[in-house]
Amino acid sequence: MTTLSTRPLARPQDPSPRPLGSPWPVSAVPGRGGDVLLGGVGLREAAERFGTPLYVLDEDEVRLRARAYRRALPQADVLYAAKAFLCTAMADWIADEGLGLDVCSAGELRLAAAAGFPPGRILLHGNAKSPEELRLARRLRVGRIVVDNLAEIPRLAALTAADTPQRVLARVLPGVAAGHHSAVRTGVDGQKFGFSIAAGEATEAVRRILAQPGLRLAGLHCHLGSQITDTAPYLTALDRLVELLARIRDRHGVELPELDLGGGHGVRYLPGDPELDPARFAAEITARLTARCAEHGLAVPKLTVEPGRAIAAPAAVAVYRVLSVKHTADGRAFAAVDGGMSDNPRPALYGSAYTVRPIGRTGTAQTRPFDVVGCHCEAGDLLARDAPLPADLRPGDLLAVPAAGAYHLSMASSYNHVGRPAVAAVREGRIRLLIRRETVDDFRTREVGR
């Protein structure tokens, strides 16, 4: 349940302080005593009030980024990729801003349904959907289901009838490698997702779907990868998908009305990082789509995109408390905090880099590089390497990590029985708790015997 605060937290003294800039949310500004204010709320007081680790989510940043996609692509379907981060409040904000929702599990689907998200604006993904998940999607009447393998075609067809067909998209592999790490490059052949265009699998999948009277093939879908900061891979994929649309028309006499290019739009984690701009992406993609369809004599299909990270990641800041500081004989320095790989596995999984800023520190102390490490029994439990922090950093200090809204809590674990952090939302100088901290009692309630 969402808990509203009864009073605003600290506001900046300066009515127009200079924003911290990317990768921080737009509202992030310096506060008194070395604090940072987010949505008018002091992170130091938020940490004292709700404890650490704490994820502070800027509601206005989420909404601003959702609106940027709607402005850039007014004629397209924009679906928020729930796998980046989903809670009831996030589903509400996304629905308010007119976006759809891309879910990839029964859990995400049930949460969205419980939040009252319009089912017709939901798309169901997944490379291994269970019969139960497909039945749930049909019962809830989701708008579209992405067919990811041949087994799903008869399984889904058995749940439908010709008078109540299910709209589906066929997920295809355009043979485009894109993304910041090999583990998230999902547009190439030889992996678990979708149907290869080059190997003829996509053509066979389309044939089988069209043969099912209870399935209505609405279009093609692809997803290239994650943290992509250039439009070039999307343009290449678009070319190959339009060619496939033309072959489907020539072979089956149907023009598919939809084309889904997935998501994976990259954001800044460090100040100098590149970022995919929605307006530039929209302009280049729509122009290319129009041109390629004209070359093949096709009507321009409706475009769908699925940004997740690009909306959620820049909207949240993680706040940790330093538990220990260690200086080694070889000259390295470690700052161990009260979170780590259980709430942010990305550095351990992908070698991801982050910005770290001390909170509540004033003065002119010199800085030195610190490895910010977690509290877990793993040498690879690293949050940031060589972060420039005060040389006199000490236990009890607070550290803030921006761009923490995507693939942190959605991938969180309970390793070492460390409970998942709380999530609080800020807006206009007020803070409210969205998700409470997980406790040992939560772990014990799952036990049913001994």
Residues with catalytic function: 377
- Cis peptide leading into residue 23 (ω within 30°): yes
- DSSP 3-state assignment of 396? coil
Q: Strand 3-4 to strand 430-435: parallel, antiparallel, or no bridges (unpaired)?
A: antiparallel
Calpha distance 254→209 (Å, rounded): 13
CA distances (Å), origin 298, targets 144, 167, 218, 219, 302: 23, 21, 15, 13, 12
Calpha distance 397→372 (Å, rounded): 12
- DSSP 3-state assignment of 22? coil
Residue 250 structure tokens: 């020539």
Neighbours of 255 (CB within 10 A): 15
Calpha distance 285→42 (Å, rounded): 40
Is the CB of residue 168 less than 8 Å from the CB of residue 155? no
Is the CB of residue 216 less than 8 Å from the CB of residue 156? no
Show Cβ contacts of residue 170 under 8 Å, excluding neighbours closer than 6 positions. 146, 147, 195, 202, 205, 206, 209, 217, 219, 220, 221
Place of tokens 């909207």: 315
Q: How many residues does the chain have?
A: 450
Show Cβ contacts of residue 305 under 8 Å, excluding neighbours closer than 6 positions. 69, 73, 76, 77, 78, 79, 260, 261, 262, 263
Composition of the chain by helix, strand, coil, percent to 5 = 30, 25, 45
